[in-house]
Structure 1
Amino acid sequence: MATNTVTTVWKENMLFESDNPSGETLSIDAPEEGIENKGLRPKALMLSSLAGCSGLDIVSLLKKMRAEVDDFKMIVHGELTDVHPKYYNKVVVEYHFYGSDLNENKINKAVNLSVETYCGVMEMFRQFADVTTEVYLHEQ
């Protein structure tokens, strides 16, 4: 079984620095309390992780399917609960594909494979949130 380890170090005030098994680092900061305002917010970072996980799957799958897209972006909306501990109880992942000759069937297949089979972060989110997805094709 694979294990990932990250180390997160308090830098100053509300600023932390966290590493990644790849060797890269990122800064984490608190919303209003963050004096420096130099880092990403922890809960929003979870939404970025969800998009990144699914996006990596989709790009790889589209390449294998030989489905060309000119551009691709994801917009993730997370609704937090009102009481503490606040967590995302509803999440919507929008997949936006841009191109002049988009193959709708292959794009939908790649998204579905990521959402239903490959994206582990998506599965983690399903444990605590109602997750829905939407696919948008933008012909150029």
Structure 2
Amino acid sequence: MKFHMKEKGMRADLGFGVLDVSGDNQYGYRPFQLMVASIAGCSGSVFMKILEKQRMEVEDLIISADVERNALKANSIESITLHYIVKGYRLSPEKLQRNLELSRKNCSMIRTVEGCIDIKERLEIIQLSK
């Protein structure tokens, strides 16, 4: 990866398009947003792979993130609460919870920040009928 400095941040061309990163959200994604997106994206991808392997009938997965930052420590990320909303058919709450715990163990982004950022997970299940 190559990053090029520009007046208000930096820019990278990562193959899927240009990514602008800046401490000022008028000029690009803020670094903490990309960190949270990486954690949610990795966790969600691993979770879905596990659910697909188990042939669970998931129609949709939505993840929202609540972030707590510490202004006294360079605005560092202290904690992230990931709220997973799983919509599907005949979903077992117990299996979903176990699979979410398994996905946490296999998500490289969560494993990278363990001990630095407190990551909590909440699971909401929406049963659909056919």
Residue 2 of structure 2 corresponds to 7
**d(CA) in 1 for partners of 2:99, 2:12:** 31
TM-score when scaled to structure 1? 0.80
**How many residues align structurally?**
127
**Identical pairs, percent:** 24
2:21 counterpart of 1:28: yes
Q: Structure 1: 5+ residue runs without aligned partners?
A: 1-5
Which residue identity does 1:87 align to in structure 2?
A: S
1:46-125 equivalences in 2 (<5 Å): 46-115=35-104, 117-125=105-113
Please tell me whether the aligned partners of residues 7 and 18 of structure 1 are also in contact (alpha carbons under 8 angstroms): yes
Moved over 6 A (4+): none
- TM-superposed CA distance for 1:38, in Å, is 4.3
**d(CA) in 2 for partners of 1:110, 1:65:** 10
TM-score when scaled to structure 2? 0.86
**d(CA) in 1 for partners of 2:57, 2:27:** 37
**d(CA) in 1 for partners of 2:89, 2:50:** 19
Residue 118 of structure 2 corresponds to 130
Equivalent residue in structure 2 for 1:17, among 8, 11, 17? 11
